[in-house]
A and B are shown apart, each in its own frame.
Chain A
Amino acid sequence: KNQVEQSPQSLIILEGKNCTLQCNYTVSPFSNLRWYKQDTGRGPVSLTIMTFSENTKSNGRYTATLDADTKQSSLHITASQLSDSASYICVVSASGGSYIPTFGRGTSLIVHP
């Protein structure tokens, strides 16, 4: 069964600090992995998308890494801002046939001033 596990479930950090969110998956065969940011009461917004051959991808202060061998990904946020407070969702898609992705439960990040 395809699964995506995220950790931690929630995280509180001070403004300006860095943090790293984790995503482990069992989706196979792997097609791509995406990180989304979802503000409260809003739809998810894509941050990064990585395919099998990509190890790292950055989008401003967000850097995602992917280890396809261990089936792990991380999202690193640098110099956090108050606006980074949101839920971060890891989504993994399989190739060949079903294009319905598997969603993680998300990590709720709160950035305090």
Chain B
Amino acid sequence: GAVVSQHPSRVICKSGTSVKIECRSLDFQATTMFWYRQFPKQSLMLMATSNEGSKATYEQGVEKDKFLINHASLTLSTLTVTSAHPEDSSFYICSAARGSGSSYNEQFFGPGTRLTVL
């Protein structure tokens, strides 16, 4: 159990366009989902925390108007990169948290989405 999917796995777009990435928890309900960005040979960098039914909490330095996050249900969160530029090219990974109490910290990661902006 605890499977998280992402779609698409790869996307190539032109500069100035918007791209939407979906993150789904397939076999559990996730009240909280996280979005990360990872540049080559670097660790995951948390972009934002998304709670179902409320606004996302963005990390310092992440533009909320550029990276739109919607968490409309307990199994789906979306990240939209608006007006994408080549510097937005990266590996975007989502994760979903399951449970409560001490187990609330456990996150299950999606397979990632490779975004290339031309």
Q: Do A and B bind each other?
A: yes
Q: Is the CB of A100 within 8 A of B46?
A: yes
How many chain B residues touch A (CB < 8 A): the figure is: 25
Give the dominant DSSP class at B's interface: strand
Partner of B112, one of A41, A46, A51, A104: A41
The answer, yes or no, to whether B89 is at the interface (CB within 8 Å) is no
The answer, yes or no, to whether B106 is at the interface (CB within 8 Å) is yes
Q: Is the CB of A106 within 8 A of B97?
A: no
Q: Is the CB of B112 within 8 A of A99?
A: no
Q: Is the CB of B109 within 8 A of A99?
A: no
The answer, yes or no, to whether A85 is at the interface (CB within 8 Å) is no
Q: Is the CB of B109 within 8 A of A93?
A: no
Chain A residues, CB < 8 A from B114? 41
Partner of A43, one of B32, B104, B105, B112: B112
Q: Is the CB of B110 within 8 A of A31?
A: no
Chain B residues, CB < 8 A from A108? 41
The answer, yes or no, to whether B107 is at the interface (CB within 8 Å) is yes
In angstroms, Cα B111 to Cα A49, docked, is 20
In angstroms, Cα B43 to Cα A106, docked, is 6
Q: Is the CB of B102 within 8 A of A43?
A: no
For window 3-51 of B, CB contacts with A under 8 Å fall at 4, 6, 32, 34, 41-44, 46, 49
A-B contact pairs, 8 of them (CB 8 A): A41-B91, A43-B95, A43-B112, A44-B93, A51-B102, A93-B105, A101-B105, A103-B46
Q: Which residues of A contact B (CB under 8 A)?
A: 31-32, 34, 36, 41-46, 49, 51, 89, 93, 95, 99-101, 103-106, 108
Q: Which residues of B contact A (CB under 8 A)?
A: 4, 6, 32, 34, 41-44, 46, 49, 91, 93, 95, 97, 102, 104-112, 114
